[in-house]
């Protein structure tokens, strides 16, 4: 589904901090770990089992009365498609990266729909679940396009990388592990199909949208065109949460808290914090750019944007408690 962009954002539902979750709009951003087996396996059966397990806590939240929207990572799934591109390049033309994003949004969305509907039915809380294949607007002049740096897909021998580079792709060596493709990761500007997601949410659906950060598109000569890039899922999630009028954004990951000084003797969990404190810690280098950094920046932006909003970074198992402000790293103004 899609809708024209440009409509006014839905106003946030006020968060009262107590009582049931009836009517609360919550956006849950699921990390890639929720979509694969513990060993990282992305085989179909492993993905389906992982999604099934992830939907239990989500179903509990819906059953508690929350109006839930979901977004998700798609790194393993896009990685699989890129390998197919590599192996079959001499037989069928490789598909562009925006196509890979669209395909994996739909695939993961269907897995979530099936699993969540089963979990909701088991709780006597049946709701329709819908997926919106979503585009994310980026700037065609974003500096990331001039210097691609986001690694995607698996490691390959140099000879394979050189063949891919002859087709116009950009690859970089990563030591003994081999070569890896790198692409632009431009700043997300707008979730173009957020209005469709909002309409479904208003109608009582659980909505899956902006998977993998959304399909990246840019305006070229006045029209929208797909671009060879990936959009950070968490940065896109905070944009979507704001457009949907969410009062809470929870980034569900595989750790209990964001950590200040991670990997050092002075490491400490961040239990309750503010956008200002997160900005100071980020500037001091406390959050790795490829892992916790985008999550911290996403929750910081969401809460700093104003309104009575709360965000959390928490483990999937503590999802409900995180929404209530009782678990994980809680961010409030």
SS3 assignment, position 4: coil
pLDDT of residue 300: 97
β-bridge partners, 27:
69, 249
pLDDT at residue 12, as a whole number = 39
Any bridge partners for residue 156, and if so which? 179
Contact 32, 75 (CB under 8 A): yes
User: What is the strand order of the sheet 179-183 is part of?
Assistant: 150-156, 179-183, 171-173
DSSP assignment, residue 35? G
Q: Residue 272: its pLDDT value, please?
A: 95
Question: Is 32 annotated as catalytic?
Answer: yes
Per-residue exposure over 30-46, b if at least 16 CB sit within 10 Å of its own CB, e if not = bbbbbbbbeeeebeeeb
The distance from CA 257 to its chain's CA centroid, rounded to whole angstroms, is 18
Which among 84, 139, 150, 325 is annotated as catalytic? 150
**Measured between alpha carbons, how far apart are the two ends of the chain, in Å?**
34
Active site annotation includes 84:
no
Residue 52 has pLDDT above 60, yes or no: yes
Please tell me the predicted confidence (pLDDT) of residue 138. Answer: 98
Give me the count of residues in the chain. Answer: 333
Catalytic residue among 101, 153, 295, 328: 295
Residue by residue, DSSP assigns 149-200 as -EEEEEEE-HHHHHHHHHTT--EEE-GGG-EEEEEB-PPP-EETTHHHHHHH
Distances (CA, A) of 58 to 73, 105, 120, 155, 252: 16, 18, 9, 34, 11
Task: Decide the pairing of beta strands 206-209 and 67-72.
Answer: parallel
Q: What mean pLDDT is predicted for residues 82-110?
A: 90
Query: Are residues 66 and 26 in contact, defined by beta-carbon separation less than 8 angstroms?
Result: yes
pLDDT at 265: 86
The single residue of 33, 74, 80, 85 carrying the catalytic annotation is 33
Distance CA 240, CA 15 (A): 18
Question: Of 11-25, 104-118, 279-293, which gets the smallest average pLDDT?
Answer: 11-25
Q: Is the pLDDT of residue 4 over 80?
A: no
Q: Does residue 233 carry a catalytic annotation?
A: yes
The pLDDT value given to residue 15: 34
pLDDT of residue 47: 85
- Closest to 258 (Cα-Cα) out of 267, 249, 266: 267
Pull the structure tokens for residue 330.
């809680």
pLDDT over 70 (residue 26): yes
**Helices marked H in 211-323:** 233-243, 275-283, 292-304, 319-323
Model confidence pLDDT, tens digit, residues 135-180? 999 999 999 999 999 999 889 999 989 988 998 899 999 999 999 9
- pLDDT value for 8: 38
Catalytic residue among 233, 245, 320, 328: 233
Residue 317's alpha-carbon distances to 96, 233, 269, 321, in angstroms, are 36, 20, 17, 9
> Is residue 33 annotated as a catalytic residue, yes or no?
yes
pLDDT of 319 > 70? The answer is yes
Higher per-residue confidence, 254 vs 121: 121
Instruction: Identify the active-site residue in 31, 32, 211, 214.
Output: 32
Domains of the chain: 25-149+184-332 (3.40.1160.10)
Per-residue pLDDT at 75: 86
Per-chain mean pLDDT for the chain:
88
- Model pLDDT, residue 255: 87
The structure's pTM equals 0.88
Higher-confidence residue: 121 or 32? 121
């Amino acid at each position: 589904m899609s809708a024209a962009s440009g409509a006014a954002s839905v106003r946030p539902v006020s968060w009262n901090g107590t009582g049931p979750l009836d009517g609360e709009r919550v956006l849950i951003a699921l990390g890639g770990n929720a979509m694969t087996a513990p060993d990282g396996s992305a085989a179909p059966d492993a993905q389906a089992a992982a999604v099934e397990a992830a939907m239990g806590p989500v179903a509990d939240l819906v059953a508690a009365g929350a109006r839930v929207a979901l977004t998700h990572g798609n790194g393993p799934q896009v990685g699989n498609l890129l390998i197919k591109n590599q192996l079959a390049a001499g037989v069928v033309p490789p598909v562009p990266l925006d196509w890979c994003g669209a395909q994996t949004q739909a695939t993961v969305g269907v897995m979530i729909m099936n699993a969540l509907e089963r979990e909701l039915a088991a709780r006597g809380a049946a709701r329709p679940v819908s997926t919106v294949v979503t585009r994310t607007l980026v700037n065609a002049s974003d500096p990331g396009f001039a210097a691609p740096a986001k690694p995607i897909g698996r490691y390959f021998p140099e000879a394979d990388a050189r063949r891919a580079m002859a087709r116009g792709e950009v690859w970089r060596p990563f030591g003994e592990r081999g070569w890896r493709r790198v692409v632009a990761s431009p700043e997300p500007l707008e979730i173009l199909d957020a209005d469709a997601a909002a309409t479904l949410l208003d109608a009582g659906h659980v909505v899956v949208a902006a998977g993998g950060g959304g399909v990246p598109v840019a305006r070229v000569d006045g029209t929208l065109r797909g671009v060879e890039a990936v959009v950070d899922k968490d940065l896109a999630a905070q944009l979507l949460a704001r457009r949907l009028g969410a009062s809470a954004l929870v980034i569900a990951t595989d750790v209990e808290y964001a950590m200040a000084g991670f990997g050092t003797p002075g490491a400490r969990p961040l239990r309750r914090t503010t956008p200002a404190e997160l900005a100071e810690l980020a500037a001091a280098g406390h959050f790795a750019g490829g892992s916790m950094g985008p999550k911290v920046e996403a929750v910081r932006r969401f809460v700093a944007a104003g309104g009575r909003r709360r965000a959390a970074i928490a483990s999937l198992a503590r999802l409900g408690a995180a929404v209530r402000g009782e678990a994980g790293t809680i961010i409030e103004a």
